[in-house]
Structure 1
């Protein structure tokens, strides 16, 4: 029951559409009420700060600051709706009412299954990562502030701590703790937060998340024996946190919680994104014995490495971990746990000769290929690891970021006909160098060195690498060198993408039986029309010959089947494309590109739910690949997960800002989410840098739906002046003609594309709402039949999009 006087005061302060219903409870910081929003027909929660807390605050400034929290739009955050103050100066704010129970209530019912607990912890981590990226720290993460509804967890009270701190009216050196009202809950406070450290930052939330994780997975608070707030605070400050011992918890998660509960903020993960990465990778890691306690991690300098030396070192490591002479059982267990996951950082070329970069990076890349086939060993994705080439991060920091337990770093020096390589293998949990060595070899025998020592890895570690012997695939040093050059260009994309074909051709001239070079050529050719003004009809015959030759030489090569999948998709043989992509995955289940290819095939058909599963798996394998992130993001937006999808697409663009396909995929994600003005702002900055008609069309459409008709019209006119046989011009015109509502002209462009080689139309996200004005017309459906998509979701009113239906805005 709400007392009459207070109810009248509060009701008078609220908007007329909010009618108080009943009091829900509250704590020392606030009282909580349920109200009915008559305008929108929904229930909301009203929180009012206590008089004791409000006495030290500026209500006006608190209201202004709390409204900043309204900008947090993330599925796992309960947003602030509105805010104000009562006549006697008590600040209040409202949030949506979440039907369900708090995590505290759920804990009271009994222990949660580990899978359920990890799902909740992942949701909380996602909320924190999003808020931290926007400069907002929660400072009161606890089970009471985690709400469970419809199978997911959401976090309430974001922005409250920041608003309280910013609206203090006391002297600058007076803290809220000194005023008698600490921000936070003693049972979940980080040491620096409990002692009132003015430098407390987002890492306090990481600590609180660790306490929450321990409580959920171990079944009790880490300091459950401390029965008073003072004793609890003292324990957080001075008592080492216990280690999670529950057998159902993956070893990687146990280690993660231990890091989160470190007393020194610098010993915790650097950010919640690191926590999320560790949680994702732990899904593939089995539960094992709890890790032995390790000392504070020490930095290690980034050294130099090569495949030859690594093979010997890995063999030594295995022998040390399994030999009775290796030392204690704990040290053996630590070594074995450390080898469960590895990141091979691209080697640097030293000595001033940048032309050897291809060889340095190629050696590391070959090693990744070899070790990715080792059962029980998880490798960080190529594109992800490549982001840290030349990094000055410590091994521990690299391990945190990449979600692995061991790091291989290195470089290569070439002088005349000699190559010197040095390897350094480090334990990421404590920075300890596990093994280091140097090797020198004739440059002409580098490929042979790799082959022999890769075999040594299998022999020494008693591994079966897919039942076949691992080799470079050629005995010709020149062929191998040119192949490595081609792979470097292919993976780096960019304006010299077409050079990849030239290098693969050189490799084939040196050794016509080199299957990997034939497969590389076919894959590179199929990607060329997306990066250069070259028609698909011109590259398919050549790519098909190369793929057939590769298949005849090595039918068990995953790359061959990736190439065949691409060829089938560009000829609109969707079943064949899926079959070949699945074959590639069967041959290499950890190939991020194979999973991406499967998702790309489904996306082209408007099969959004299936595509999202494949893209998500690809991203799990290679979380910093720009092209993978972009496709997962736009597909997530197609599935109605708008904010998550846009965030991923923006992240992809940040990773690869000059790659045109990623630019336009990002614009499509904005369109899916109905965020047209943001898409137009991005397009306005990108359009002056783009000349390719395939990507100019989406720029024009994004500008138009965002209200920038002048520039959109100029781009449209530019496209109309281009020749009809320019690759991508018909797709570009199909998009741009919709700028002025010329649906007939847009359909004519689509028909022209379908009558030729398709002009890459299926790959340009036809599920985009940009095409809704023409989607259900007979002409659109007839054109889709030429792509073998006449019965696909693309011809339905929503083009296969899932989730919330966005109402079109005026002018869009």
Structure 2
């Protein structure tokens, strides 16, 4: 890895999601035209190197701040396809190279400035501005101090063109902010507009009673009335973390009001519900809806804020980026991706040794190698247990990290009671995390509690029915069914697992043993033939048969009997 000082330009398309909602084909065509005819030629002519392309955004590296600022002004001054508007941020700072990729302070600050910029605006940091010659520096306005999210020092910010307000207040309030967008009138009757607006205004008024919450005034939120909105864009423009939106639909005297609370930073839904009523007394219904919505979302807001306050896994943005990259490789489940994920997780821990989420992921990555019969990396199981111990001793570990760590000490250190305690904490903190329920199921199986194990494994699939890792939940179901000698159910669970991930050896092993106990010789032969498509030799089968889940005393003899009958083992 190499460290160097460079200038980074971060740019994105304003309101991209809303544009896609309005006209997907037209937006994609306009974006391609802009990219090929304007963006790429301009960065090339200014000696820029495109580092990352994210669909609606780009990261570009320049040799100097002057070239970056000249390119940014050329981009903003260019003739763009209809609907295409840019925000641009520029910062000069340190980056670390990793192959063709770069990450570090320069990217982080540039991205924060880009997020603060108005449409058609360029924001440039003091570090970059100080590097410009007098004539170039003079085209920028400002120098006002800003406190950027997750950036420890204050940065003076300059803007182009002159005269556009620099919105530096987005992150200035310590209170969480919420905007209530005008509820849509879905009735097709313009006369009902007043009812939808009244609902919105009453909710704003009631939310304003909570002193810990900053509520955007009615006049500001109503500027979005009738517009197709990108929630992330609303959050940036109004400086809020949360957005409440909804609709009102009337049919005769019946009214249905729907609402949803959204995290404006991540776009995730925190709460959604609908309320039905009758217009016997419109004001009574309006009051009831307001009370129901406010009563419902206030705990959701408090819970989200509590999680936000606690979920500061690391102050090191570089460590966080390394962790996210590790997660992206982890989900691909290949030997090469697993090794890359281990490397990235270790780099994250080098940056922040107390980063519990990275340590938990590292522990599960080593388990992943074990259960997929891959060659150990580093010290294999010993490395997994060491990473797990770091998590369980940390006061910064969230429920997901605790579950990963608990799984490692359950499977490898055989410390089942301690793992169970950690799983209880993880389930308490993350009751709706499918992976936590799945891993807790395996721990309960090893504790000789198959009924409870089955409940958690089944709930895991219910929580995330399209999860790319749901094969593990079906495997956990198969283990529990086998334990209870419900072999047909075990077969069905394993076939579900194999439909998601055909190469997972454990699924094949449970399926074959279950079919053997059912006495279905034809199905056993077909299952064995299927397994041998994915396994080159007997060593992997023998190694898989020795995994901790197959050594559990209540089931070990029956596993082996089934495999011997099927001809897998002798």
TM-score, normalised via structure 2 length: 0.41
Q: Which has the larger radius of gyration?
A: 1
TM (norm. structure 1) is 0.30
Task: Name the one with the larger strand percent.
Answer: 2
